Amino acid sequence: MKNVIDELGNEQKYKGGYTGEMFKYLKKKLKNFDEFLFVMYSTNGSKTPTPLLKRINHSKKVLIWHSSENKRNNINEIKNDYTHIFSNYYWNTKNTTSIPLGYFTESINSEIIPMGERLYNISFIGCLNRNRLVLASELSGIRKFWLSTGLSFYKNKTLKILNKILQWKWNRDLFQFNEDFNKGMDSELYQYFLQHSKIALCPRGWTNSETFRLYEAMKYGCVVITEELPDREYYKNIPVIKVENWSDGIKIARNLLKNPKKLEQMGLNNKKFYEEFLSPRATAEIIIKKLKV
């Protein structure tokens, strides 16, 4: 699409994934789609303080800002350079609209597995950051202090021991802590495990409780247990279970497994909510609504 470029002016050709599906719907439903210039920005800003392209004069220049959760960039510095800014990990202001984070990986197989046929009861696969030490401690029985110390001096060995303990202790479930984001497992295998999980634990990332896993789990109709989510319009009445601590989260998960019918219905509710409020189509609808004004 010639009117979809990155901050350096390079044309972006999305063939799939969350953003690709969003633009596919946007191009179909936004009648004056070709009149806009969509600028995609997806860095954290540690090297580039603000999106470029200030010199391009365009009456309908729109920024779609897929930055990381740290959000070092200052949107206020560039508000006047764009017709509108759509951003993850942000809130609604005069010239800026928050949009759903979406999923990170796209599986070739998008089949929804019936709850009774799923292979794993409870699952979490992801990096072990400082915010997830409590969850790792609750699952393994290892004190948070020793996990933190081990990660500081013997990271790979600590993770190996931790995962072995979890595999032995939770043999009907699937828990794996990795050294960093998007490492430790092939994306297709990760999606397969998520599709076959009844309950997905979604602890916060480095700073934010909005995670790709939340979206991916809801997309596949898992029951989701998460920490409190930010106050976003598209999270209103979200049918997930929110907990203040992971000791309660694990207890809730184990009790839910005793009620298969409730588990099935909760999974269906999550899938329905995702399609209506968090999917690529839902994100496109948010953009269309704002650009039509």
Q: How would DSSP label each residue in 166-219? A: HHHH-TTSEEEEESSTT-SS-HHHHHHHHHTEEEEEE---SS-S--HHHHHHHH
Cα 6 → chain centroid: 22
CB atoms closer than 10 angstroms to residue 33: 17
Q: Is the pTM of this model over 0.75?
A: yes
pLDDT of residue 285: 97
SS3 content of the chain, % helix, strand, coil (to 5): 40, 15, 40
Provide the 8-state DSSP code for 80.
G
Closest CA to 275 of 225, 210, 219, 211: 219
Q: What pLDDT score does 279 carry?
A: 96
Lowest mean pLDDT among 50-64, 80-94, 169-183: 50-64
Q: How many CA atoms lie within 13 A of 38 on its CB side?
A: 28
Mean pLDDT value of segment 272-287: 97
- Domains of the chain from N-terminus onward: 4-99 (no CATH), 115-278 (3.40.50.2000)
Please report the pLDDT score of residue 55 as a whole number.
66
Q: What single DSSP character describes residue 132?
A: G
Does the structure show a pLDDT above 90 at 77?
no
Averaged over 245-253, what is the pLDDT? 97
pLDDT-derived band at 293 (thresholds 50, 70, 90) equals low
Cα–Cα distance measured from residue 170 to residue 123, given in angstroms and rounded to the nearest whole number = 10
| Of 148 and 186, more confident | 148
Amino acid letter, 183: K
Q: How far apart are CA 249 and CA 115, in angstroms?
A: 20
Residue 142 to residue 159: CA distance in whole angstroms: 12
Q: What are phi and psi of 48, to 5 degrees?
A: -110, 105
Structure tokens at 256: 């839910």
DSSP readout, 257-293? TT-HHHHHHHHHHHHHHIIIIISHHHHHHHHHHHHT-
- Residue 44: predicted pLDDT: 53
